[in-house]
Amino acid sequence: MRLLVLLLLLLPLYEVLAQSSSPSVEVRRDLYDWDDFVEEYTSDVERAEEEDLQLHLQELKERSEHPLNINTASVEDLLQLPFLSEAQIEQIHAYIYLHGQMQTLAELRLVPLIDEVTRRRISLFVYAEPEQKNTKDRLFGYLRNDFSTRLDVPLYYRKGQLQDNGYRGDPLYHRIRYTIGNSRHFQAGLRVEKDPGERFYDSYGAYAMLHDVGFLTRVIVGDYRIGFGEGLVIGGSTWYSKSTPSLKTQGGIRPMTSMDEVNFLRGAAVTLSLGKHIRLSAFGSYRKRDATLTNRGEIQTLLTSGYHRTNSEWERRRNVGSTMLGGNVEWYNKGFHLGATGYWQKFSNALNPGTQTYRAIYPKGESFGTGGVNYGYTRYRFSLAGETAYSTVGGGLATINRASWNIGRNYILSAVQRFYSYHYYSFYSSALSENSNVQNESGVLLHLQAEPLTGLQLTAYADFFHHPWPRYHMTHSSTGQEFMLQGTYAVSRQHTVLARYQLKRKENGDLMEAHHRVKLQWTCEPSSHWRFQTTGVFHGVLSSTGLMFTQGVRYTLAQPNLSIHGLLGWFHTDDYLSRVYAQLPALYSSVSSASFFGHGIHATLTCRWQSKNGRWMLEARYGMLRYFDREEQSSGLQTIMSPWKNDLSFQLRVKI
C-alpha cells in the first residue's frame, strides 16, 4: 500500500517534467536503445528462469555491439536477427537493388513490409553507410579490440561458504572477455569465467572466424553454435516466443560469444557457397560434458548448470566425452529453398536415464543419429516453410510447418503446426514447443500482429497442445491451451500504455491448472533525459494469487555520457505457485531477470559512464532483496541466513 501511495505521488512529477521539457527536444521513443528493446521484445515473457532466453538475449547483445552495414549484409547475416521475416529480408534487398545503397536507416520507412516496430529494433543491429570499395577486400583491415571484465561481490554469506564440506572457493563471480576483428571479414574472441563458490576459472573458450572471403561464406575454429532449417535437427541459434513466432529459417553457423557453459560445440565448422544458389556446410565437434553416472558408469543425466562448487560437483566435471559430425546443404532460388541436415553423435559412456515413466522415452545407448529435410517458399507478402526429421533413437518422426501472410504493412497473420513423436529425440533441436525438449508434443499456434490505428499495436495468439506420453508428475497423457491478448497504445509522444491478459491451462500432477496473468504498464518519456515506467502484475492460479508493483526510472546525459537506471518493486504472493517475474536493470552485455514469491521488496540500481570517444566504459550495479515473511532465503548450501540480500557488481570495458 505504501508503494501505491508513492506511485500516485509521482504522477504529478511526470507531468511537470513533461511540461518543462523543450518542444524541440526529441523524446526517448526516437532514441531507442538496448533496454527499450529488451522490454519490448520480452514483454510477454513470464518465465524468468528460461535459460534459452537469457542466452538468446546475450547473443543479440553481442550482435548489437558489432552492427552490420545494411548495404552489404547478406541474407545469412540478416537471418541472424530473429524479428526479421524472410519476406522482410527479401524486401530490404529488393529496395537496395532498385534504388541503390541506403544513405540512412530512415529509408527503411520506404520498404513496404518494414513496420515501425521492426524499424526501431533493426536500428540497434545495422547501420547505413556506402560501401568503401578500397577497403572491401582487406581481410584484416581496421581491426578493433574489445576488452571487458566483470566482478560480482555478494554482501552476505551462503551456508556453503560456512561449512567445511561446502563450497570449495570464494563467493566472488569474475569473467573476462576479449574480441578482436572487423565488421566484415574477421573476428576472434576469448572468454574466461569463474562462478561463485568455484575455486578456479574452470569455464573458458575461444574462437576465430573468417566471413565472406571468396567462396568461403563462413569458417569458424573453436567454439560455435549452429542452426539449420526450422531447428528440428539442429537449432541452437534461435529462441522461440509464442508472441513472436519464428518466421524464417535459422541462420547457419556462428561463433559462440556468450558465457554459456553448455549450449555450444567445440571444433570447426565451414559454410561454402557453391554458385549463386547452393550452400554447403560441414561441422565437427569434440568436447567434455558434465554428467551424473550410475554405479556401472552409465550416464543417468547430462548436467547443464555449469557449477563446480562442491567436491561432488567437481567429480562430475567433464567426465563424459561427446563426439559429433554433421553437415547441411541448402538450395535457394526465386523464393524457394530446400535443404537437408544430419549429424551423428557418440558418447564415451552409454546413456541410461532410468526406469521412471517420464524418463522411459529418453534416449538410451552410445551412438545416435538424426536427419531431416527443410523446405519453404517466400513471395512478397506470403511465406510457407517447414521441416520433417527422423531420429535413430526409437525411429521417431517430427515435423513442424508454418505459414505467414503480411496483410499490408500493418497486419501479419501466421500459423505454426507441430508434431513431435515421443520416440523422436535430438540433442541439439530447438523449435517452438511447450516442453523443454522437442519431443512428445503436438500442437497448433495461431498468431496475429496488427496495427489497426496509428500508435496502437495489438498482438494475439492461441496455442493448443497435447502430450501423448506422461510428463513429469503425470500418470497419463495431457492437454493444454494458452491464449494471450496484448495492446500497446502511444497516447502521445510522452506517454505509452500497455495491457496484457494471458490464460494458460495445463495439467500438472493430474490436476488442471489455469494460470491467469495480467500486466498493466505505463511509460512516460518527458524528454531525452528522463524515462519513467510504472508496472503492475497479477498472477492467479487455483486459489493462489500474486501481485507485484514496480517503478522504474532512467536518466541519461549526453555530456558527460552518463546513464542511471533504477527499479523499485513490491511483491506479495500466497505461495511459490503464484510467483511473479520481472526484468531487472543489468550491466552492458548482460541480461537480468528474477522470480519472486512470498512478501517483500526488491530494488536494482545501475550507473554507467562512457568516455567521450567511446573507448572507456565503467559500470556499477547494486541489487537488494528484502523479505518480510521469512528470516532466511533459499535452501541447502545456497541458504542465506538473513531476510536481506545485497549484491554489488562492477564492470570495465575498453575498446581500441
- pLDDT higher than 90, residue 417: yes
Find residue 189's DSSP bridge partners. 179, 207
Q: What is the mean pLDDT of residues 59-78?
A: 80
Enumerate the domain spans of the chain.
168-181+185-431
User: What pLDDT, on a 0 to 100 scale, did the predictor assign at position 282?
Assistant: 97
Q: Band of the pLDDT at 646, cuts 50, 70, 90?
A: very high
For residue 240, is pLDDT > 60?
yes
pLDDT of residue 540 exceeding 90, the answer is yes
Spell out the residues 6+ positions from residue 269 whose beta carbon is closer than 8 angstroms to its own: 218, 219, 220, 224, 226, 253, 281, 282, 283, 284
Mean pLDDT of 275-292: 93
**Mean confidence (pLDDT) of the chain:** 86
pLDDT greater at residue 242 or residue 579: 579
How far apart are the C-alpha atoms of 6 and 114, rounded to whole Å? 40
Q: Specify the pLDDT at position 11.
A: 40
Of 106 and 75, which is predicted with more confidence? 106
CA–CA gap between residue 392 and residue 367 (Å, rounded): 9
In 3D space, the residue among 624, 608, 534 whose CA is nearest the CA of residue 156 turns out to be 624
pLDDT at 48: 43
Strand (E) or helix (H) holding 420: strand 411-420
Q: Report how far residue 262's alpha carbon sits from residue 55's, in angstroms, rounded to the nearest whole number.
A: 11
Distance between CA atoms of residues 71 and 611, nearest Å: 29
CB 548 within 8 A of CB 580: yes
Preceding peptide of 560 cis, ω within 30°: yes
Q: pLDDT value at position 6? A: 42
Give the pLDDT confidence of 322-350 residue by residue, as tens digits: 999 999 999 988 889 999 999 999 999 99
pLDDT (mean) for 612-640: 94
pLDDT at residue 602 in the model: 97
Q: What is the CA radius of gyration of the chain?
A: 25
What local confidence, expressed as pLDDT, does residue 355 receive?
84
Residue 137: per-residue pLDDT? 52
Residue 503: per-residue pLDDT = 95
Tell me, rounded to whole angstroms, the distance of Cα 17 from its chain centroid: 34
DSSP code string of 322-360: EEEEEEEEEEEETTEEEEEEEEEEEEEEEE---S-GGGT
The string of pLDDT tens digits covering residues 551-560 is 999 998 877 7
pLDDT of residue 246: 59
Which residue type is seen at 75? V
For residue 516, the model assigns a pLDDT of: 96
The label of the residue with cell 500474486 reads 546
Q: What is the pLDDT of residue 9?
A: 39
- What average pLDDT does the segment 648-653 reach? 96
633 band by pLDDT with thresholds 50, 70 and 90: very high
Question: Stretch 425-449: mean pLDDT, rounded?
Answer: 90
Checking if the pLDDT of 49 tops 60, the result is no
Q: Is the pLDDT of residue 171 over 90?
A: yes
Instruction: Kindly give the residue spans of alpha helices, DSSP state H, lying in 116-156.
Output: 116-122
The 10 Å Cβ neighbour count of residue 231 is: 29
The confidence score (pLDDT) of residue 17 equals 41
Name the more confident of 561 and 497: 497
Of the chain, the end-to-end C-alpha distance in Å amounts to 50
Indicate whether 46 pLDDT > 60.
no
> Residues 421-426: what's their mean pLDDT?
93
Q: What percent of the chain has pLDDT over 70?
A: 90
52 pLDDT band, cuts 50/70/90, is: low
pLDDT digits (tens, 9 = 90+) for 377-413: 988 788 899 999 999 877 899 999 999 888 877 888 9
